[in-house]
Amino acid sequence: MTLPIDPVENLALLIRCPSVTPAEGGALTALANMLKPLGFSIERPVFSDSGTPDIENLYARLSGNGPHLMFAGHTDVVPPGDESAWKHPPFSATIDNGEIYGRGAVDMKGGIACFAAAVARHVAEHGPVKGNISFLITGDEEGPAINGTVKLLEWAKAKGEHWDAAVVGEPTNPERLGDMIKIGRRGSVSGTLVVHGVQGHAAYPHLAENPVRGLVTLVEALLDPALDQGTKDFQPSNLEVTTIDVGNPATNVIPAKATAAFNIRFNDSWTEETIMAEIHNRLDRAAAITKLRPGRETAINYELLWRDRPSPVFLTRDEKLIGTLSASIEAVTGRKPQLSTSGGTSDARFIKDYCPVVEFGLVGQTMHMVDERAALPDLEMLTRIYQRFLADFFG
């Protein structure tokens, strides 16, 4: 029986599966084939929801007596883009100059490949695990995130599953392996601002109301002053306007409406409710009186549309999980990792409702880029970190 002890071989098998969201692409099958020889029981539930594609997921469990550690992640990847721009085909898993190329190499098939190799080495060296290990792997983290981790967690809990800790294998290191563990994330909420005016001829502005004037006023109110100066555990909250549009191809027509979309990443100074209330207050104050038409003052006619499912801010404070992983990283790399809450969102935002969760994976410098790739020495080192962590976590 061949065990999946080589992370490079594991990753090559996963990269060769074109699992662009929402396609399974063979990636979950490849992972299942790695885990079966280790004694994992494997289930692959498919979840559905209206208006979204069906998603196949994987839940694998190695049962023992002791604490239950979850490894979570995703096998789906973003599209490769212009494949002719790649040095090597994006699903070829070509090894070149000490690196393996392919879409998902670092985000995050590399983390999955290394954790599977770490479990295999642990079993080969120590025998049965003194506890429980599960892989909770989704196929839509890069997509809507509706039929994946959220429902997989609910499904597993309904079956009686309980976890003591979780590690998400997302690429967390900015420069070198061992730089950073993510112990929390800022929250995220998105909205669209729509200002309504009166369409008219650009040469007769007194007969129209230009919504662009109002939109500029409201956007300035959103951006200034700053939301906060940051907190002990989190960097400052920021609001970024991501698009402005009037949908107007004619240069001599004042448009009927103007829109701006924005995203806020907020720290623990706020909750979803309080940050949304702050935005409403800023807009109401700025909209009270302004000039939409030369020589006439009137309130800005606007509406604010919030997108569904804001992500809450969270911070993990579990000393055993964080301390054990930090010690494992330092033992293997010689570097003491920074405990960070920077970056975007991940499926950890769902897992934190079930157990303490941290994130640690490869260096993320090429994720989502053309020529995404992972260094072979990093794959071996990450496997050794995970292996050391398993031994120490389970005692």
- Tell me, letter by letter, the H, E, C secondary structure of the chain: CCCCCCHHHHHHHHHCCCCECCCCCCHHHHHHHHHHHHCCEEECCEEEECCEEEEECEEEEECCCCCEEEEEEECCECCCCCHHHCCCCCCCCCEECCEEECCCCCCCHHHHHHHHHHHHHHHHHHCCCCCEEEEEEECCCCCCCCCCHHHHHHHHHHCCCCCCEEEECCCCECCCCCCEEECEECEEEEEEEEEECECEECCCHHHCECHHHHHHHHHHHHHCCCCCCCCCCCCCCEEEEEEEECCCCCCCEECCEEEEEEEEEECCCCCHHHHHHHHHHHHHHHHCCEEEECCEEECCEEEEEECCCCECCEECCCHHHHHHHHHHHHHHHCCCCEEECCCCCCCHHHHCCCCCEEECCCECCCCCCCCCEEEHHHHHHHHHHHHHHHHHHCC
Q: Report whether pLDDT(291) > 60.
A: no
Query: Catalytic pick from 6, 56, 141, 209?
Result: 141
Q: How buried is residue 2: exposed, middle or buried, by Cβ count under 10 Å (0-12/13-18/19+)?
A: exposed
Q: Does domain 7-185+313-393 have CATH number 3.30.420.10?
A: no
Query: Catalytic pick from 24, 76, 209, 347?
Result: 76
Q: Say if residue 88 carries a ligand binding annotation.
A: no
pLDDT value, residue 196: 95
Helices 7-15, 109-126: inter-axial angle, 10-degree rounding: 140
Is residue 19 a contact partner of residue 76, using CB atoms and an 8 Å limit? yes
Confidence of residue 293 (pLDDT cuts 50, 70, 90): low
Q: Say if residue 206 carries a ligand binding annotation.
A: no
The tens digit of pLDDT for each residue in 77-108 reads 999 999 999 999 999 999 999 999 999 999 99
Confidence of residue 138 (pLDDT cuts 50, 70, 90): very high
The tens digit of pLDDT for each residue in 11-47 reads 999 999 999 999 999 999 999 999 999 999 999 999 9
pLDDT value, residue 221: 97
The tens digit of pLDDT for each residue in 202-226 reads 999 989 999 999 999 999 999 999 9
Query: Catalytic site residue 6?
Result: no
The tens digit of pLDDT for each residue in 237-262 reads 999 999 999 999 999 999 999 999 99
What number is the average pLDDT over the span 306-317? 89
The tens digit of pLDDT for each residue in 47-81 reads 999 999 999 999 999 998 899 999 999 999 999 99
Report residue 365 as tokens. 């410098």
Q: Report whether pLDDT(290) > 70.
A: no
Cβ-proximal residues to 198 (8 Å cutoff; 6+ apart), any chain? 207, 208, 209, 254, 256
Q: Say if residue 209 carries a ligand binding annotation.
A: no
Q: Say if residue 68 carries a ligand binding annotation.
A: no
Q: What is the mean pLDDT of the chain?
A: 95
| Per-residue CA distances from 153 to 70, 260, 321, 361 (Å) | 11, 35, 20, 21
Round to whole Å and give the CA distance between 135 and 386. 14
pLDDT value, residue 343: 84
The tens digit of pLDDT for each residue in 178-209 reads 999 999 999 999 999 999 999 999 999 989 99
Report residue 372 as tokens. 């995404």
Q: What one-letter code names the amino acid at 272?
A: E
Q: Report whether pLDDT(7) > 70.
A: yes
Round to whole Å and give the CA distance between 105 and 361. 11
Confidence of residue 2 (pLDDT cuts 50, 70, 90): confident
Q: Report whether pLDDT(292) > 70.
A: no
Query: Which residue has tokens 């990753």?
Result: 11
pLDDT value, residue 299: 87
What number is the average pLDDT over the span 131-139? 97
pLDDT value, residue 295: 63
Query: Catalytic site residue 76?
Result: yes
Domain boundaries, the chain: 7-185+313-393, 187-306
Q: Looking at domain 187-306, which CATH architecture does it have? A: 2-Layer Sandwich (3.30)
What number is the average pLDDT over the span 296-301? 81
